[in-house]
A and B are shown apart, each in its own frame.
Chain A
């Protein structure tokens, strides 16, 4: 699959996200503590913009009803429309992970040198070999 250079890593610091367009697709790139993940910016329910969703943690059942466990702060995005939660790392919904998933794209970080030597597509900005870049397979 062709790889596209979509952002400098400096554009998306940890906890931030960026909406990019690749071959007509809107994709939201998340930075979770230095790891980058890409989801189609379209909730599989009715198409809400996941880029505009609140970042939350994973709330799970505790040992019995009324007790909660909370983990992975900031690693779950809730669709701004109906609140469906998606695991940013996998694209899986939390409600029905095996059946409802958000389309995920492979995202990698490459040095400017690698990116300059290709084969990558960089449609919208210049690449400097001193920097690192977020690269996405579409």
Chain B
């Protein structure tokens, strides 16, 4: 009963084949090299496509401690934080000892990973020979309940970023941390930082208090569009809600995997609420989202949109087409099996070479050695991902 004009079948993946190649892969997989190496010694692996000149769209300097932020706060907030005994804004997004939080050879003997510019130069900039690296600081600003305190912390993190990183190495760029708790204060922080061209995007978390397509956030998008700043939506939660829609999981593995469904919801929200109809020049970068889930989610959204588009007539082309125009994803973590074939198929499913942006996700442990580029990417696609796509996404990197 299917008509060939419907592309439902054309787009259907062949699940059996995919599963088979996945299973084959498991039987031949070798352990990551770092399993055999002592901590703090970088493993050696041949690099297939050199990353020299690449733009790394997602690295994570750590705030070493709350003390590092105090110089960038007003006297009142400095005193308040001391009086109240406010401790570190550590979140459960990246627990200190979780393997993911820092690769063994990037984990310092003491203190937090990636906490100073020299470390980032040695571990992130030099080994990959990147031309630029965009710092997305994941300090727990978005978790605070107090709007004014959140604004004070966001401001302090951005000032700390300027003084300790952007002023220290010309290759570093950063996303503006904003207090999404109060949209007006968030816009004010964007306006304060926008003049500094080294801030190249605006940072939000995928699980905020509301779905990010909601109009309450639109002044943020208006400001970002005004200043030529894409929105970088990073994995993580403000923990105003459980990380799954039916409640809290028990284990970290569940929590980290649950980022992907949160990104599904984000993509639906941004498209259906009309963010891209309202802000046609806006691009949204999904950072640390993984990449394999997006084509399948867009098939699903497009399938249902065909019958439900009258609810959202501002979505006047398929959600897949809207996403190709406006959504970008950072490369790491690549969540495909490690052999080339499944990834090649997935890249085909995107139907576009424009959407993926190179990232190492430093210092998170997503790969070993300098193998930031997975197998299954042609040299030309790799170059596009490393240079051309980031430049087309971040106007300030041109």
Residue numbers of A with Cβ under 8 A of B are: 42, 44-47, 56, 59-61, 64-66, 68, 78-79, 82-85, 93-96, 99-101
The answer to whether the Cβ of B30 comes within 8 Å of any Cβ in the partner chain is no
**A44 to B2 CA separation, bound complex (whole angstroms):** 7
Check A84 against B313 for contact (C-beta < 8 Å). no
B binding-site residues for A, Cβ under 8 Å: 1-3, 5-8, 215, 273-275, 277-278, 305-310, 312-314, 316, 318
Q: What are 18 pairs between A and B in contact, CB < 8 Å?
A: A45-B6, A45-B8, A45-B306, A46-B2, A46-B3, A60-B313, A64-B277, A64-B278, A65-B273, A65-B278, A65-B314, A66-B274, A68-B313, A83-B307, A85-B310, A94-B310, A96-B306, A100-B6
Residues of A within 8 Å of B305, CB to CB, are 95
Known A-B contacts: A47-B2, A60-B313. Give 9 more (CB < 8 A): A65-B273, A65-B275, A65-B277, A79-B307, A83-B307, A84-B306, A95-B306, A95-B307, A100-B306
A96 to B303, CA, bound (A): 11
Question: Could you tell me the distance in whole angstroms from the C-beta of B144 to the nearest C-beta in chain A?
Answer: 30
Contact A100 B5 (CB under 8 A): yes
Q: Can you list the 6 inter-chain pairs with the closest CB atoms, starting with the nearest?
A: A65-B274, A83-B307, A47-B1, A95-B306, A61-B314, A44-B3
Give A79 to B310 CA distance when docked, in angstroms.
13
Instruction: Tell me, in angstroms, the Cα distance from A64 to B3 when the chains sit together.
Output: 35
**Chain B residues within an 8 Å CB radius of A94:** 309-310
Q: Is the CB of A101 within 8 A of B277?
A: no
Q: B316 contacts which of A45, A61, A68, A82 (Cβ < 8 Å)?
A: A61
Contacts of A46 in B (CB 8 A): 1-3, 6
Q: List chain B residues, Cβ under 8 A from A66.
A: 215, 274
What distance in Å separates the Cβ of A77 from its nearest Cβ neighbour in chain B?
A: 13
Query: Closest chain A residue to B311 by CB distance?
Result: A59
**Inter-chain contact count A-B, CB under 8 Å?**
64
Enumerate chain B residues within 8 angstroms of A56, measured Cβ to Cβ: 310
Contacts A45-B6, A64-B278, A96-B318: A83 and B313 contacting too (C-beta < 8 A)? no
| Contact of A44 with B5 at beta-carbon distance under 8 Å, contacts A65-B278, A96-B318 already known | yes
Closest to A43 in B: B3
A61 B277 Cβ-Cβ under 8 A: yes
- With both beta carbons as reference points, the residue of chain B lying nearest to A56 in the complex is identified as B310
Check if B5 sits within 8 Å of A83, measured CB to CB: no
Cα separation A83 to B308 with both chains bound (whole Å): 7
Question: In the complex, which of the residues A42, A64, A84 contacts B274, with contact meaning CB atoms closer than 8 Å?
Answer: A64
A56 to B1, CA, bound (A): 25
The smallest beta-carbon distance between B311 and chain A, in angstroms, is 8
Which residue from chain B places its CB closest to the CB of A66 in the assembled complex? B274
User: For the complex, what is the distance from the CA of A59 to the CA of B310, rounded to whole Å?
Assistant: 6
The residue that A59 contacts in the complex, of B6, B275, B313, with Cβ under 8 A, is B313
Chain A residues with Cβ under 8 A from B273's Cβ? 65
Q: CA A59 – CA B309 in complex, angstroms?
A: 9
Distance A16 CA – B185 CA, assembled complex (angstroms): 57
CA distance A42 to B3 in the complex (A): 10
Q: Which residues of A contact B310 (CB under 8 A)?
A: 56, 59, 85, 94
Give the complex CA separation of A56 and B311 in angstroms.
13
Query: How far apart sit A85 and B312, CA to CA, in the bound complex (Å)?
Result: 14
Cα distance A59–B313 when bound, in Å? 7
Q: Given A46-B1, A65-B274, decide whether A95 and B6 contact each other with a Cβ distance below 8 A.
A: no
A126 to B1 CA separation, bound complex (whole angstroms): 35
- Chain B residues, CB < 8 A from A60: 313
Kindly report which residue of chain B lies nearest to residue A65, judged by CB atoms: B274
Contact A82 B2 (CB under 8 A): no
Query: Complex: how many Å from CA A83 to CA B1?
Result: 17
- Give Cα A46 to B306, complex, Å: 13
Interchain CA distance A56-B215 in the complex, whole Å: 29
Alpha-carbon gap, A68 to B316, bound state (A): 13
Contact partners of B6 in chain A: CB under 8 A:
44-46, 100
Please give me the residue from chain B that is nearest to A85 by CB atom: B310
- A90 vs chain B, min Cβ distance (A): 15
Distance in angstroms between the alpha carbons of A78 and B310 in the assembled complex: 11
Closest to B310 in A: A59
Q: Provide the bound-state CA to CA distance between A16 and B126, in Å.
A: 73
Q: What's the minimum C-beta distance from A60 to chain B, rounded to whole angstroms? A: 5
B residues less than 8 Å from A95 (CB atoms): 305-307, 309, 318
Min CB–CB distance B319 → chain A (angstroms): 11
Contact assessment for B306 and A61 in the assembled complex, using a CB-CB cutoff below 8 Å: no
Query: If the complex has contacts A44-B3, A64-B277, are A82 and B313 also in contact, measured as CB distance less than 8 A?
Result: no
**Contact between A84 and B3 (Cβ–Cβ < 8 Å)?**
no
Given the contacts A59-B313, A65-B274, A65-B278, A82 and B5 also touching, CB distance less than 8 Å: no
List the B residue with the shortest CB-CB distance to A69: B313
